[in-house]
Structure 1
Amino acid sequence: MAPKRRVIIDTDPGNDDVIALLLALAAPASELEVVLISCVEGNVDVRACLRNVVAIFHILDREIKWRKSQGLPAGFEGVTAYKPLVAIGANEPLHGGTDNADYFHGADGVGGSTQTHPEFNPHESWESLFEKPPPDDDLTKKAKDIDQDVEKETKEELFSNFTPSLEPAHKEILKVLRDSEADTISIISIGPLTNLALAAAEDPETFLRCKEVISMGGAIDALGNVTPNAEFNVWADPHAAARVYALTSQVPSSTMPLMSENFAGKDLPAYPPKLSKQLKLILMSLDITEQHVVTRSQFERKSQDLAKRGSPLAQWMTAFLTPMLNKMAALHHGHDDDPSLALHDPLCVWYLLTEDDPKWTTSEKSPEDIRVETQGQWTRGMTVADKRPRRRRNSDGEAPHDRGNWLGRISGNRVEKMKGSPGEDIAGAWILDRILGYVS
């Protein structure tokens, strides 16, 4: 049976990214196929992001073997029924320098657990999977062939549940979309939008073959989490976000970042004046994600017994979530008896798995004209919405008092901002049950 949904996940793991990926890979094969996981610089540097993705597959291999030894359903059909492609992407934003969120996630992205719990780290040979082999010379070819045969057997045993790519992530995104029927691939973006912007710039029509982009990012009415006005994923590469958001407009040029800037070696071209369709962009902003959390008590109830029984997955999740929950408790100066972590990124996967639930609702004004600030000294990465209670013009807003055509009939972006979910009170338990509850 073909999966109900096929997806590309673009990510910068990151603790909550890891939970999102585990949730996607835990889905039954009839529900979801993760075709490609592409890594982007964000929470931590892109090589650390890639290592964390490889670590997921390493842990899941051990977990599946443990479950079988216990007579439990293996689950994780995302790796047993499918073999996702993994690609490494952009190592810097389109413009300006890199500024990671390792101050929160830890230098490794997973709460420092690669140092405190090295037993969960993937085999050291993982990096060579993503490197093109050097050309052979005749004198050493035979010896190299022998070494490569041994290395190949080791890699096949250790990394048999995913396919490493030697191509840049944005090119793999385009290839998946090109090789798939139009409107069948959803893209979940849970990091900065750099890879998506690069793919769209290279071939916008192929990029628009995707069914939708579900993006964790932005803060419309909520407070920012990296500056007073900005959410991290948009702030980390506002130019990339602006370019992707612009594809939701009938006139992308009306909201594109200024082309006079020097994009640090990435002088991306303007989009053609006329594109075949508009991008469907579903925004999971802080307005909704901050309300959905997993608490320490929820996690411990689900994981403690499994960890004691020897579940590698429960033990690994404990290793990286415990320091993060401790950090949240410290931020509240010990006044929070049950600290929690927001489920920012997992919410995107939860939506895709349950999108038919009528409790998923968008804002009353959706689609909204939401744009990204790229120039402001204090407002970089701010997601700006037109909140004026006025009807749109039938023209393109020539009037000088409405600069930027905010009330134009065809200019401006059209973003679907998610507002309601199946329940803030059930999110944490539902997600943990899917990951640790052996859903068949």
Structure 2
Amino acid sequence: MYYPFSWFKSLVKLSLVFLLVMLVGAYFDHALLAWAGFMTSLVVIHYWNLFKLNQWLWYSKKITPPTARGILGNIYDGIYYSQRRARNKRKQLGVLIRRFKEGSEALPDAVVVVDAEGHIFWCNRLARLELGLRWPEDSGRRLDNLIRHPEFVSFFNAGRFDYPIEVPSPINMDKILEYRIMPYGEQHYLLIARDVTQLSQLEQMRKDFVANVSHELRTPLTVLTGYLEMFSMGKEIPPEFLKKAHGEMASQATRMQNLVEELLTLSRIEASSERVYEKLVDVPAILRTIETEAATLNKAKGHQISFEIDSNLLVYGVETELRSAFSNLIFNAIHYTPSGGDIKVYWKANVAGARFSVKDNGDGIAPEHLSRLTERFYRVDKARSRKTGGSGLGLSIVKHVLSHHNSKLEIASRVGEGSEFSFGFTKDMTAKRALHA
């Protein structure tokens, strides 16, 4: 507890002790010697207390100060009181900083704080995922040295932040980010990056949808209309022809139904606003389910299908979207690999994070087709795709799912040797299953 220091009491005590020493010295007729001894003792005591103070400040691990009397004891208590007050302020500041960071991490946008010279002061987790920043490695580096798009560099260096700009993401060219910069405090700026890909692509998506769907539905509708016209003529139709017509009409109706379902799936993925960084997806469980479905689908083909799965490797994302991506690649391999083929599915951790791949020993794909495989309704062999019921949307769905998860589909193929479809996730997107004893 703090007691106010009294100079009067201190001087009175010192005077009484000095008077007592002088009386004792006079009694023994050694007043000068008594005075010298008193002063020497006083200096020694003060230096001893200063030594204890130095040891406490620089070397001791104790929080409480050493004991001392008089003015030095009061100085000890004052230092201890100041330290406690500073610790309390640091705790309060730490709580404020923690709340600020928690609030920034909860934002649905990438946030970066830079100083007046453009050096990175702090960034949230979304900034590391969306902008490719590394923390704390990139602390102190200039932001325009890390986000090097010419439009952004010009915007950043111009210093006129009255309006936002839209440029591709530095780590995912399929994403369009809107950058806003505003003053933050006295000597800092706050950069906010928001994914606006959906808005910028909406009009083009509508145009593509109308053109592609009208083209894809024309053939099955023509078949159905032709048979219906024949039935309406009232002539007797042979049973064999009726059976063939029924089968063809059912096949075309199923094809249209599959097309509509895949279009709805693709539309739902493209319009999804669900955040991929909040929920852990049990990929091994999904792949085990797909393995069972693949075995049923494979009965007619007779492929040798093997799954090598890291049962503890999870990933952040949207479960329904990732399930669609995994199943599309696996089922495509089953459909398009000639009967009796060999298909291998891998889900493993690597240096970068995690990787999923599907390998087959099918016919392979010519190089001129590889860059267009993820386009909507694009087919390498249209007749073969229609025969297998393919709509040309499977790989487009995979592409959009992976773009939503900051990944990219990689295709390696050689004609006559087979193909490999794969994609990866960074370490920030992966996690290990918690093991309980």
Query: What range is the shorter-chain TM-score in?
Result: under 0.3
TM-score normalised according to structure 2 size: 0.18
Q: Answer with 1 or 2: which has the greater Rg.
A: 2
Flag the structure with higher helix content: 2
Work out which structure has the larger RCO, using CA pairs closer than 8 Å and 6 or more positions apart in sequence: 1
TM-score normalised according to structure 1 size: 0.18
